[in-house]
Amino acid sequence: MLSTPPVGRFAPSPTGRMHLGNVFTALISWLSVKSRGGRWILRIEDLDTQRSRMEYAKQIEEDLLWLGLEWDEGGLDDKGANGPYSQSRRSEIYSQYLAKLSGHTYPCFCKRGDIMATQAPHQSDGRIIYSGKCRPDSFPAPEATSPHSTRIVVPNRYIHFTDRMYGEQRVNLAQECGDFVVRRADGAFGYQLAVVIDDALMGVTEVVRGSDLLLSAAQQIYIYELLGFAAPEFAHVPLLFSPDSDRRLSKRDASLSMEALRKNYSAEELIGMLANIAGLRSTPTPVSANELLEDFDFGLIHRAEHLRAPYV
Ligand code: GLU
């Protein structure tokens, strides 16, 4: 039987220039689907309109093309049939699906945790476990008129899934995060809700991203269940840590931002460096993304919690 080609995606938030860690995730995600004849979608995650900038989105596109990581669908010019591909232009779609979840959501008047809801929760952000203070006794919850965020009730049971990299996972959302925000008080939609709706409607079959979003996979699988969508396969990859400290790369690591890297290295040199860090090549010899397709094997990628970025 012929299996259908996989559909992957890269979903950057345009809040700054990409760094080596972002490129690492993009590369593995691209290789994973393109090596099997699949399609790769570029989605712009600009739910937080305060922090997102069009210039950054354009720069991300330009950097990806420079690296040889071309997308088949999506991007700022909405290539493909499942657009728009920028989350800031998908509010109507999110509203429709949020309405379907009304038996599981409630208005919340607490301020904590609201603002962060539009961003993917990276571990270094710290974790807030919501107490359930505003959770009503029965559902559907009574309507509220004063400003409020909307939270989704999480079950007190294990959600099981198998991550392609980290294996069997079981997560009890009640213990790990509590009821979480799906819409902020200012109307912006939450990352967890938007990402599920987008991945489902865009036909994404595999999600490759940084390992600090492993817990988010459980939150997302729960929303998939409630909306009756089939969940994609998850493959979280190790985070790149700064060469001289125990934290993931961030915008602070200016020497590892694409701006600095492009001044000092060719695309092939950078891809060669990343292929070596990942475990795909035994030396950091320059290589193009296309050349890596020939013998790409996800199983070769080091199964570490994090990998160390090189001094550059
Ligand atoms: N927009 C998220 C980030 O840049 C990625 C989330 C995802 O891949 O699901 O961290």
- Nearest atom, ligand 1, residue 195 CA: 9
Q: For residue 141, how far is its CA from the centre of ligand 1 (angstroms)?
A: 30
d(CA 248, CA 17): 16
Q: What is the model's pLDDT at position 127? A: 76
**β-sheet bridge partners, residue 106:** 151
User: Which is nearest to 116 in space by CA: 100, 132, 101, 127?
Assistant: 127
Is 251 tagged catalytic? yes
The answer, yes or no, to whether residue 62 has pLDDT greater than 90, is: yes
Q: Which of 48, 196, 213 maximizes ligand 1 atoms within 8 Å of its Cβ, making it the mutation to test the pocket?
A: 213
Nearest to 46 by CA among 31, 33, 60: 60
What pLDDT is recorded for position 307?
95
Q: Name the more confident of 121 and 45.
A: 45
Task: Copy the structure tokens of residue 55.
Answer: 């210039």
Which amino acid appears at position 136 of this protein?
A: P
Choose one of 195, 215, 224 to mutate for the ligand 1 pocket test, by most ligand atoms within 8 angstroms of C-beta. 195
Q: Is the Cα torsion angle 56, 58, 61, 63 positive or negative in sign? A: negative
Q: Which atom of ligand 1 is nearest to the CA of 9?
A: 8
pLDDT per position as a tens digit, 122-157: 766 677 889 999 999 999 999 998 999 999 999 999
Rounded to a whole number of angstroms, the distance between the first and last alpha carbons of the chain is 47
**Distance (Å, whole) CA 14 – CA 54:** 7
Q: For atom 7 of ligand 1, which residue has the closest CA?
A: 11
The band of 245, judged by pLDDT with boundaries at 50, 70 and 90, is confident
Ligand 1 atom closest to 210 (CA):
8
24 versus 310: the higher-pLDDT residue is 24
Q: Residue 219 has which token pair?
A: 């939150």
Query: How remote is the CA of residue 13 from the centroid of ligand 1, in Å?
Result: 7
pLDDT at 20: 96
Q: What is the 3-state secondary structure (H, E, C) of the chain?
A: CCCCCCEEEECCCCCCCCEHHHHHHHHHHHHHHHCCCCEEEECECCCCCCCCCHHHHHHHHHHHHHHCCCCCEECCCCECCCCCCEHHHCHHHHHHHHHHCHHHEEEECCCCCCHHHHCCCCHHHCCCCCCCCCCCCCCCCCCCCCCCEEEECCCCCEEEEEECCCEEEEEEHHHHCCCEEEECCCCCECHHHHHHHHHHHCCCCEEEEEHHHHHHHHHHHHHHHHHCCCCCEEEEECEEECCCCCCECCCCCHHHEHHHHHHHCCHHHHHHHHHHHHCCCCCCCCCCHHHHHCCCCHHHCCCCCEEECCCC
Pairing relationship of beta strands 105-108 and 149-152 according to DSSP bridges:
antiparallel
In this prediction the pTM is 0.96
Nearest CA to ligand 1 atom 10: 120
How many angstroms separate the alpha carbon of residue 51 from the centre of ligand 1? 14
Mean pLDDT of all residues in 164-184:
96
Residue 263 has pLDDT above 60, yes or no: yes
Does residue 107 have a cis bond before it (omega within 30 degrees)? Answer: no
Q: What is the mean pLDDT of residues 197-208?
A: 98
- Tens-digit pLDDT profile for residues 275-296: 999 999 999 999 999 999 999 9
Residue tagged active-site, from 34, 133, 251, 263: 251
Instruction: Please determine, for residue 74, whether its predicted confidence score (pLDDT) is greater than 90.
Output: yes
For residue 305, name the pLDDT band (cuts at 50, 70, 90).
confident
**Rounded distance from Cα 12 to ligand 1 centre (Å):** 6
Q: Taking CB atoms and a 6 Å cutoff, what residues make up the pocket around ligand 1?
A: 11-13, 45, 120, 195, 209, 213
The residues that bridge with 180 in the sheet, in sequence order, are 152
For residue 148, the model assigns a pLDDT of 97
Residue 1 pLDDT exceeds 80: no
Q: Dihedral of CA 84/52/62/18: which sign? A: negative
Distance 1 CA to ligand 1 centre (A): 34
Asked whether the CA dihedral 44, 49, 54, 60 is positive or negative, the reply is negative
Mean of pLDDT values over 229-249: 92
pLDDT recorded at residue 87:
98
